[in-house]
Amino acid sequence: MRPSKRAFDELRPVSLERNYSRHAEGSCLVRFGDTHVLCTASLEERVPGWLKNSGKGWVTAEYGMLPRATGDRMRREAASGKQSGRTQEIQRLVGRSLRAVVDLQALGERQITVDCDVIQADGGTRTAAITGGYVALADCLAWMGQRAMVDPAKVLKDHVAAISCGIYKGEPVLDLDYPEDSAAETDANFVMTGAGGIVEIQGTAEGTPFSQDEFLKLLDLARKGINDLVGMQRQAIEAAQ
Amino acid sequence: MRPSKRAFDELRPVSLERNYSRHAEGSCLVRFGDTHVLCTASLEERVPGWLKNSGKGWVTAEYGMLPRATGDRMRREAASGKQSGRTQEIQRLVGRSLRAVVDLQALGERQITVDCDVIQADGGTRTAAITGGYVALADCLAWMGQRAMVDPAKVLKDHVAAISCGIYKGEPVLDLDYPEDSAAETDANFVMTGAGGIVEIQGTAEGTPFSQDEFLKLLDLARKGINDLVGMQRQAIEAAQ
Amino acid sequence: MRPSKRAFDELRPVSLERNYSRHAEGSCLVRFGDTHVLCTASLEERVPGWLKNSGKGWVTAEYGMLPRATGDRMRREAASGKQSGRTQEIQRLVGRSLRAVVDLQALGERQITVDCDVIQADGGTRTAAITGGYVALADCLAWMGQRAMVDPAKVLKDHVAAISCGIYKGEPVLDLDYPEDSAAETDANFVMTGAGGIVEIQGTAEGTPFSQDEFLKLLDLARKGINDLVGMQRQAIEAAQ
Amino acid sequence: MRPSKRAFDELRPVSLERNYSRHAEGSCLVRFGDTHVLCTASLEERVPGWLKNSGKGWVTAEYGMLPRATGDRMRREAASGKQSGRTQEIQRLVGRSLRAVVDLQALGERQITVDCDVIQADGGTRTAAITGGYVALADCLAWMGQRAMVDPAKVLKDHVAAISCGIYKGEPVLDLDYPEDSAAETDANFVMTGAGGIVEIQGTAEGTPFSQDEFLKLLDLARKGINDLVGMQRQAIEAAQ
Amino acid sequence: MRPSKRAFDELRPVSLERNYSRHAEGSCLVRFGDTHVLCTASLEERVPGWLKNSGKGWVTAEYGMLPRATGDRMRREAASGKQSGRTQEIQRLVGRSLRAVVDLQALGERQITVDCDVIQADGGTRTAAITGGYVALADCLAWMGQRAMVDPAKVLKDHVAAISCGIYKGEPVLDLDYPEDSAAETDANFVMTGAGGIVEIQGTAEGTPFSQDEFLKLLDLARKGINDLVGMQRQAIEAAQ
Amino acid sequence: MRPSKRAFDELRPVSLERNYSRHAEGSCLVRFGDTHVLCTASLEERVPGWLKNSGKGWVTAEYGMLPRATGDRMRREAASGKQSGRTQEIQRLVGRSLRAVVDLQALGERQITVDCDVIQADGGTRTAAITGGYVALADCLAWMGQRAMVDPAKVLKDHVAAISCGIYKGEPVLDLDYPEDSAAETDANFVMTGAGGIVEIQGTAEGTPFSQDEFLKLLDLARKGINDLVGMQRQAIEAAQ
């Protein structure tokens, strides 16, 4: 029995609230249950130094957490003067995941920065960030399309979404919330495209090592969950048109 | 004529949404028009070193802005490795303002940190932070009162709220939004208590120096605005009981 | 009775020692009693990035304190690796105050940095820094005038000086020294021009909030004090010619 | 055909040179072809604050690269003032991997820090670090066993080793060197125990997303490679006795 | 012919102005010509962690330069967020030099920090800092002696002073000023005690390497100069009694 | 009797292993007994800003120590976020020493960075770094000569090597190892050229000040030791051709 009483293969209630920010070219407040992440996509007419005169653009991500997004207040990273290893790991993952479905050539020499700021955390912030960040990115590209800067359909090759799975009390379950996450023996994050291709897999044994068989069960759960998430992304984006 | 078509002494629509955060002991999403600040109050059973064994507690504030809270994306302070002078100035002001109505002795040896994070900015973020931070603080104290940790009525001696005023196109106006703020000749922030006492005044001539007479007009406007804000704080807090 | 036995409206002995530094284009060691601040104005033929090709120059200020300028040794900011919020707040104030009387267009694309380093502190270092920084700036402009780089009279539109006032043991007093400052109920800094215009007002209730009436008494005291300081600036600068 | 002419399932020549350092309690210079990593295990009689009085110890890892370990000189992290996201990601992975086979209770309240410093890099530094770090850790525990501080057999529950695999020119291959790594479509790191349990999986599509089938082929290759590495660890450690 | 027209073995006019600071336990403004360094000695009733419960005290030094102490304005170290290698090298040298004549056991578990802040620079700031820092330290110990905290005569075993020499246009000269220093082929700093013992020698060939013979000539000059400096220290300190 | 049983004027076994690194243009693993330093010379086609368009090149050095190069593990400088004063002092010394024998004009507008990383420490790391760094630099220049970029014989004007001496138990001895270094009364580092010119002298009294006579004995020992080191450099470099 899961603490939230969900079925083993049941996502938390997910919502994708577009145009949350007045200023950003694209934005989405994504909610996976009590995990709320504000994703904004910001367009800049410049690229990192190593891409100058390459004709290619760049998509990058940054991640942050409000100090009291969590049960205990965490020290503000701006005050401590550096981003934690965890923060850097997550923002690298989000950036890689989004770039996996972007044609940087078709984007042209511009940078889109997707900021993912956790307003409230209850496990799964990085997978929510990828899933919602995709919507913000899509909206930013639509905004550019309306201004004839790019052809959004060429830049964005597919959907990308992410979900965590884990082995909780011996059972493979989908979309861990914080109480499950902190007790799980194994915790894995999956990033997949709309076409079902795998972009990133990260599986970690917190306690006992896991077997190939267990891992494949998590992968199956993830596939199902990501399928649902991609459907919600589609709905949210179509609603926008 | 103000860009927002407001009367010279008219506040923007203000809302104080309590219990916005699931984790914090007190929280309030405050909106002054398009300026949205999430304020959380976090209780910790420790005090800064210089207060140990003093029997007194501490109330402090931190301030941050999401990178795309503004029209152009700003660099994330956690990434640049330090808080700007502006950030530090604001968080010092918010802390001082809240402490002005707190009896630190009655609080006992505990610290409450009020985090004010700007989700979206359109001028007046620091005054919104003080006004909303007060509500978060009051809720945190109510939470403590329910647990018989303190007598909230003794700790919180009065209300405190804040508003900006300025001279825009030669006219004194109340509650500057960003288009006004960036064009104002003079810009002043006022922090006052429910009883009408002045806690803090900060007036700055952006262009031509201002006269005593002009300043007194701003002070009158501020008094009116703060009166209204204190009324809204009262309403929000009573609604909670 | 004030600890220094001064009358309530009496400044400390003030001196403005010009040409203190052999290297700087302008310099002034300003003394307000035991508060000694060395102000140097340094000319550089470059402007901040956002002013390039604007035809406008910039005046900025930096502030520092020698570690043992105070009763207890403070940690050296260069050693701790960052400037405190207080330091940043003060240097922003000094820069704004000086710019209030400078025509940046007439200065041309150059930057003048006014460094204010506290050699010894006894309260009122920021107001001394503004008052002495003005003299250093005026001397730097005179130096430029002698080299036909600018017309100093066009660049420097007026005088600017600053003083603190406060309510000490219930009485409004002028020019707080450290013993008064640390005991004052209300502490306010005023920056005004030679023509009597107000450039900046910062008033803070350290304990009980203050009333409008009290505040106006402080403003009157400040006006008188700044009048005297501007007279001393005039004398010091004329003596130089 | 691989650039190194190795078979698709062939490891580079691997060596594990124990007792490389005169000072460390355990040390191993591990070579995977031209990738050379010096691993030292340092024992300290203290634990992180959150483990004090828990009766449990801690194993952690740090990772670094000499500036010219790579084809182009990289900036020294000590000079740039911070560790890159990549460095932090790797050292977190190495630490987690080693802890997966350690009984922290049996270790007692002590910390072992495994430093992995890349002397020369040619791809696969993180997997070499885990594989060699295990030997340094085992030697450190043997050192402690000789002094009757712990029972090494109880502390170290199993072997742990790691290897990278990838899809290079459409073919799954084992143990990527740098030329393969920089051209691979998919890159995955596997960490497994001597008993065959999976500790960590990290798979990333650099270009086209990969399929489940491809992923399982990489997992098979990894299992074979890690089997061989564990054999070499056994040999190296036995040789020591 | 030296730019300053001094004889080859002639010091610049040196003055040691004691009690320059109102707050510090000991202080001295030392002038070597146009090089002016403010030295303060601050007593603290604590020692670095590694000396706790050792019964021994510590003497340390810090060094700084005001931004416009030099011909061109230098960036403020507090603003750049770190002390330069040069600054650290100098403050280590000053600390070592002063400790060479202090009996740390006789000092007891206390720390004296000698801050050396360059108000104006014209070459030889580090040697001026040692020479003036000694006077500040002696005054601090006298202050402690008056309060029966230590026996100053036991703590301070001897005098210590320092001077630079160099080969300028082929000639060995004493006490380089900035124009000489920047043109010298060889530059050496000597620290010696009142009894003539050598505490520190630092000789550097800026251009052509130097010979042993040349070096011995510099050493002779230094001995003469330090003799004179020790005489001035004696005079300054006796004048104080 | 020295702890290592060496004669008072006997070097430790010294070896200079060239081409240690596969990537660097020049490299040398230098061993002075148990002190092992890896020196790499990296060529870059750029110079520091202040040398642009000067026609001159630059040679600089960086220094680091692996955390467990020493008896007790030291904190990693990359983790603590800054290089210690000692590190900076050493890398400045190594850079100055190497530049003393380089014709920067003949090098042309390029920079060679010599990284000296201490793999294992037993005293004398800075002198080993200079001695081995010279070999790496010579190899880098030979590499450039083979590509007709420079005439190595014109760029490298002479040899340079370094050694420490000290007064240990009252006796002047050559090439201090760690047990001697930590007990020595006086410790001096000498840098000399192949022609016998002195490039740098650094002598420090750790306890009692030393006399001129003692110092000259150390200088004699150093001359002998450096003579031997230069011979070994010659041999190593010739062996390479």
Residue E103: how many other CB atoms lie within 10 Å: 15
Q: Which amino acid is at F10?
A: E
Q: What angle do CA E76, E81, E86 make, to 5 degrees?
A: 65
CA–CA separation, A149 vs A137, rounded Å? 15
Calculate how close chain A gets to B72, using CA atoms only, in Å: 8
Which tokens in the block code for residue A50?
């190593």
Neighbours of chain A (3+ CB pairs under 8 A): B, D
By CA distance, what is F35's nearest residue in D?
A: D22
CB of E70 within 8 Å of any CB in chain C? yes
Secondary structure of F119-185 in HEC code, one letter for each residue: EECCCCHHHHHHHHHHHHHHHHHHHHHHCCCCCHHHHECCCEEEEEEEEECCEEEECCCHHHHHHCC
Is residue C164 within 8 Å of C201, Cβ to Cβ?
no
Neighbouring residues of F182: CB distance < 8 A, sequence distance ≥ 6: none
pTM: 0.92
- Chain D residues touching F119 at Cβ < 8 A: 21, 38, 119
Starting at the edge strand found earlier in the chain, the sheet holding A26-32 runs: A14-18, A26-32, A35-44, A111-120, A58-65
CB environment D209-236: b (16+ within 10 A), e (fewer): bbeeebbebbbebbbebbebbbebbeeb
Closest partner CB to A71 (pick from B23, B27, B120) = B23
Interface contact A66-B113, CB threshold 8 A: no
By CA distance, what is C85's nearest residue in B?
A: B88
Q: Does A86 show up as a binding residue in the annotation?
A: yes
CB of E23 within 8 Å of any CB in chain C? yes
CA–CA separation, E65 vs E87, rounded Å? 9
Q: What DSSP designation does E57 have?
A: -
Q: What is the pLDDT of residue E194?
A: 97
Which tokens in the block code for residue D93?
């992975």
In percent, how much of chain A has pLDDT > 70? 99
ipTM: 0.95
pLDDT top residue among B208 and A57: A57
Give the 3-state secondary structure of residue F90.
Answer: helix
> How many residues does the structure list for chain B?
241
Interface contact E68-C23, CB threshold 8 A: yes
Tens of pLDDT along D140-195?
A: 999 999 999 999 999 999 999 999 999 999 999 999 999 999 999 999 999 999 99
Domain A14-239 sits in CATH 1.10.600.10: no
Neighbouring residues of E236: CB distance < 8 A, sequence distance ≥ 6: E16, E18, E28, E135
Interface contact B88-C91, CB threshold 8 A: no
Which tokens in the block code for residue E29?
């403004």
Q: What is the pLDDT of residue F239?
A: 79
Nearest CA among F100, F29, F27, F24 for reference residue F59: F100
Closest partner CB to E40 (pick from C42, C64, C68) = C68
Nearest CA among D3, D40, D37 for reference residue D19: D40
Interface contact A68-B44, CB threshold 8 A: no
Q: What DSSP designation does C158 have?
A: S
Q: Does A125 show up as a binding residue in the annotation?
A: yes
Tens of pLDDT along A206-237?
A: 888 999 999 999 999 999 999 999 999 999 99
Interface contact E92-F85, CB threshold 8 A: yes
Is residue C88 within 8 Å of C96, Cβ to Cβ?
no
Interface contact D24-F67, CB threshold 8 A: no
Q: What DSSP designation does C164 have?
A: E
Tens of pLDDT along F18-70?
A: 999 999 999 999 999 999 999 999 999 999 999 999 999 999 999 999 999 99
Tens of pLDDT along F114-153?
A: 999 999 999 999 999 999 999 999 999 999 999 999 999 9
Q: What angle do CA F40, F42, F46 make, to 5 degrees?
A: 155
Tens of pLDDT along F156-185?
A: 999 999 999 999 999 999 999 999 999 999
CA–CA separation, C43 vs F170, rounded Å? 56
Interface contact F23-D69, CB threshold 8 A: yes
Tens of pLDDT along B94-122?
A: 999 999 999 999 999 999 999 999 999 99
Per-chain mean pLDDT for chain F: 96
β-sheet bridge partners, residue D16:
D30
Neighbouring residues of C17: CB distance < 8 A, sequence distance ≥ 6: C28, C29, C30, C31
Q: What is the pLDDT of residue C81?
A: 87
Give which of B42, B68, B143, B177 to mutate to test A binding, by max A Cβ within 10 Å: B68
In percent, how much of chain F has pLDDT > 90? 95
- Chain F residues touching D118 at Cβ < 8 A: none
Q: Are strands E111-120 and E58-65 parallel, antiparallel or unpaired?
A: parallel
Q: What angle do CA E190, E222, E203 make, to 5 degrees?
A: 40
Q: What is the pLDDT of residue D1?
A: 85
Calculate how close chain C gets to B192, using CA atoms only, in Å: 8
Q: Are strands F111-120 and F160-168 parallel, antiparallel or unpaired?
A: unpaired
Nearest CA among C211, B43, D213, D117 for reference residue F36: D117
Q: Indicate left, alpha or beta for A108 from its phi (over 0: left) and psi (-120 to 50: alpha).
A: left
Stretch 74-133 of chain C: residues touching chain E, C-beta under 8 Å: 76-79, 81-83, 87, 113, 115, 117, 119-120, 122
Closest partner CB to C38 (pick from E113, E119, E122) = E119
CB of B200 within 8 Å of any CB in chain A? no
Which tokens in the block code for residue E201?
């020698």
Q: What angle do CA D129, D131, D134 make, to 5 degrees?
A: 95
CB of B218 within 8 Å of any CB in chain C? no
**What are the pLDDT tens digits along chain C (241 aa)?**
899 999 999 999 999 999 999 999 999 999 999 999 999 999 999 999 999 999 999 999 999 999 999 999 999 999 988 899 999 999 999 999 999 999 999 999 999 999 999 999 999 999 999 999 999 999 999 999 999 999 999 999 999 999 999 999 999 999 999 999 999 999 999 999 999 999 999 999 988 899 999 999 999 999 999 999 999 999 999 876 6
Closest partner CB to E78 (pick from C40, C77, C122) = C77
Cβ burial of E233 (10 Å; 0-12, 13-18, 19+) is buried
